[in-house]
Amino acid sequence: MNNFGVGCFLSKNLLIYGKVKTKSSDFEVHEINLEGNIAGVQDSDHKQMKITETTENKNCANNATCVKSNSDVSERKQCSEPSVECWGNILKDGMKSLSDVIGDDNLKLLTQMGKRSMDKTLDLGIFNDKVKRTIIHQCIRYNFPFLITHTVKSENETKLTCCVDAVYQKMIEVGFTETMASDLIKFVNCRSLWCLENLDKAGLNIDVHTFTREKRKALHHFINKHYGKLIESKTILFNHRTVISIRFKERKYSQCTNERKRKCNEDIVIVTLFKNNIELLTVLQKLATQLGVQLSNIKYAGIKDKKAVTYQFVSIAGVTKQVIQDVIKEQFDNWHICHPKVTSSHLQLGDLQGNRFKIVIRNLITETTSQSSNGEYQTQRQALYSIINQSVMNVISEGFINYFGEQRFGYDQTAARIGLALLRENYMQAVDLLLSPKPSSESEEDNVVEASKRCFVDTHNAKETLRTMPTYKTRERLVLQALNRYSYSDEGCLKAFLNIPYAMRLFFVHSYCSLIWNKVITERILKHGFKILPGDFVNKDGNNVKINADDIYLKRYTISDVVLPLPGSSIAFPENATNDIYHNLLSIDRIDKTSFKLKKLGFNVQGSYRNIIVKPSNLTWELPHSSSMEDKSEVGLLLEFDLPSSSYATMMIRELMHNG
C-alpha cells in the first residue's frame, strides 16, 4: 500500500508505463455544473484560450477508438448542433429525416429491432459529419426510445451503432409502462426536440393514477438513481389525477444566516475562470485584488489541480457586472475570467455534476513493446493499441475503485496531517505542518518557498518570514499575516486558520477523512475482495438503505451500488467487518464522532457516503501517429472522459495503466 491508502485494482489490465502531467497542458479539466454546462466548452471565447500543444496533438491524431453514448445531455452540447428550423423539420417528419441520413434499409432494420433483443447490435454506417451524427442520435432516441446509439471511432472513420438500451429495460422491470419509459427518455435526452413539440409544457407529467404508493415510490427511486443530477420528481394532483411531475433541476439557493443576509441580497455574478499551472487560491486572491473585494466574497464548487489547464465556474458577490467586465478586458499571464452572468445565489462546494478531462500520457510503452527492437515500430504500435483498447473496454464496463487521488493529501500527506491536527484542536501543530519545509527541489521558485519556511521553523518570526514568502503562496501568507498580528500561540494559530477562506480550511479536514476512506476500502478489499457484505449501504432515492442477506441472495445489488462513509459527526458505519476497520483506524488517531464538531473553526463535518466503484462516461482515446516520434518511448496517449464530482482522473488512469 502506498502512503495515501491506495493499494488495489479492480480489473486485471496489463501493465502500461507512461508519464502523466509532463506539462500542465497535458492535463485539461472542464467543470460541469448542475445544469450540465461545461466551463470553457460552450463559451466561444474560450476557443482562443485553448493550449496550443493540446490542439496540435488533436490535429495529428488519426488512430482512435471511442465508446460514447448519446444518453448524456452535456455531451451533445459540445457539438455544432443543427438550427431550430432544422430541428423543427426533423420533428415534422422524423422518420423521413432518419431515412435520408441512414438509408431505407437501416431504417427498416431499426423498426424490426425488438425491445428485448439485448444481444443485437446494428451497424448504421460511417458518419464523419458531427452534425449528421447529432441528428441521428436524437432522431433515433426520440422515435425509438428503447434503443441507444453509440459513436465508434477507428483509424480513419467514425461510425454509429445501435442496440437496445438496458436502462429502458430496467424501467419496464421496475413498473414503468412503455409509454412512460419512452416519454421520460425523450424528456431527458432529447430536450431540443421535446421543447419544440411541447412549448406549452414546463416539464413532464406521468399519469400514475392507478398506481399504488409502493409502486410510485419505486418509480421515484429509479428516476433519482439514474437521472437524479439532472431532474427531480414528486407526486402531485394534476387535473384531479395523481401524476409524477418531473422537472429539470434549478440552481440550489443557499440559506442566508443573519450576518450574511446583506451579502445574499446583493447581486452575485458567476464567471468562467481559466487558469494554467497556478493554484486556485492564488488566482482567487489575485482576482479579489483586481475586483477590490474580500477573498470571502468569491466562492467555487470544486478545487482544481495546480499543474493543469482548468476551466471552472466561480461566483462573486459585492461587485457590479461592469467592474467584472473591466477585469475581463485585462490580460494576465496564466489566468483569465470571462462570460459574467448575474444570478441570485453563491456557488457552494459540491455544486457540480462532475468534470470533463482531456489528458495526454507521454513516453508510453508496455512490457511487451519494451522488449521489441526499434525496427519493429509498427508491430509495437499494434501491440500497444491492442493492450490499450482492452484496458479501455475494461474500465468502461467495470469502472475503477473510487480512491481519492494523491493531490487530495499533498506532499507526505501534509494536508491530511493538518486536518488531523485541526480535529484534535492542536492549532500550533497545524500551523507548524503548513509551514514545514519540504526537501530541496530542483525548482528555484520552490527553493525560495522552502527557505522562507525554514526561517519560520528556526525563528517563529512571522514578520520576517512574510518578507521572503513569495506572493503566490496565498495560503501561507494569510496564515503568516494573522500570526504577525496575533502572535505564535495557540489562540494566534487558531485565528491564523480562521484567516484562510472557509472552504480551504474545511479542505484539510476533508483530506483526513479521505485518507481514512482510502485505507478502509483497501483493507476491506484485501480481506473480502469485491463481495457485498450484509450491513453494507446502498443509496436509494437519496437515502442510505442497509443491505440484508436476502438482497445478497437475490442479487439485487452489485458492488457498484455500495457506498462507504466518509467519517463525520452524523455518519452511520456499516454493521459488518468494515465497521471494525473504521474503528481501529480512528482509534489510532484518537478521533471519534464528537471530534468533527469544530465550533472554533466554524464548521461541523457531518460526513457523507461515497461509491466504492465509479465508471467514466464519454470515454474516448487516441494513439496518434507522428513522424517526429522515431523512438517508441515518445508515443503519447490522448484521453477524454467525464467523471462525477469528487472522482479523480489520476485514479482512473491508474486503473487503466495498472501502474501505481
Q: Can you tell me the mean pLDDT for 348-356?
A: 90
Say how far apart CA 274 and CA 49 lie, in whole Å. Answer: 8
Of the candidates 116, 96, 115, the one whose C-alpha atom is nearest the C-alpha of residue 107 is: 96
pTM: 0.67
Cell numbers linked to 630: 522515431
**pLDDT, tens only, 25-57:** 899 999 999 888 899 875 444 333 333 333 333
For the chain, what's the residue count? 660
Say how far apart CA 249 and CA 348 lie, in whole Å. Answer: 16
Of the candidates 238, 132, 247, 146, the one whose C-alpha atom is nearest the C-alpha of residue 188 is: 247
Look at residue 366 and tell me whether its pLDDT is greater than 80. no
Q: In sequence order, what E strands does 249-318 have?
A: 268-276, 298-300, 309-317
Say how far apart CA 157 and CA 223 lie, in whole Å. Answer: 36
Q: Can you tell me the mean pLDDT for 625-643?
A: 66
Q: Can you tell me the mean pLDDT for 561-567?
A: 95
Q: In whole numbers, what is the pLDDT of the chain averaged over residues?
A: 81
In the prediction, which pLDDT does 68 show?
Answer: 36
Task: Find out whether 497 and 422 touch, Cβ atoms under 8 Å.
Answer: yes
Task: Find out whether 483 and 496 touch, Cβ atoms under 8 Å.
Answer: yes
Q: Can you tell me the mean pLDDT for 497-520?
A: 93
Q: What is the CA radius of gyration of the chain?
A: 26
**Could you tell me the pLDDT band of residue 58, with boundaries at 50, 70 and 90?**
very low
- Determine how β-strand 603-604 pairs with β-strand 543-546: unpaired
What distance, in Å, lies between the first and last C-alpha atoms of the chain?
A: 10
Look at residue 492 and tell me whether its pLDDT is greater than 80. yes
In the prediction, which pLDDT does 356 show?
Answer: 95
In the prediction, which pLDDT does 36 show?
Answer: 85
- Determine how β-strand 309-317 pairs with β-strand 298-300: antiparallel
Say how far apart CA 336 and CA 637 lie, in whole Å. Answer: 28
Look at residue 245 and tell me whether its pLDDT is greater than 80. yes
Look at residue 1 and tell me whether its pLDDT is greater than 60. no
| Other CB atoms within 10 A of residue 323 CB | 17
Say how far apart CA 371 and CA 392 lie, in whole Å. Answer: 23
Say how far apart CA 509 and CA 489 lie, in whole Å. Answer: 21
Of the candidates 234, 225, 230, 192, the one whose C-alpha atom is nearest the C-alpha of residue 81 is: 192
Q: Can you tell me the mean pLDDT for 145-171?
A: 80
**Could you tell me the pLDDT band of residue 633, with boundaries at 50, 70 and 90?**
very low
In the prediction, which pLDDT does 155 show?
Answer: 55
Say how far apart CA 625 and CA 628 lie, in whole Å. Answer: 9
Angle, CA of 74, 76 and 79, to the nearest 5°:
125
**pLDDT, tens only, 75-122:** 333 334 455 556 566 666 667 777 777 888 888 888 877 665 656 778
| Other CB atoms within 10 A of residue 3 CB | 11
**pLDDT, tens only, 446-466:** 688 889 999 999 999 999 999
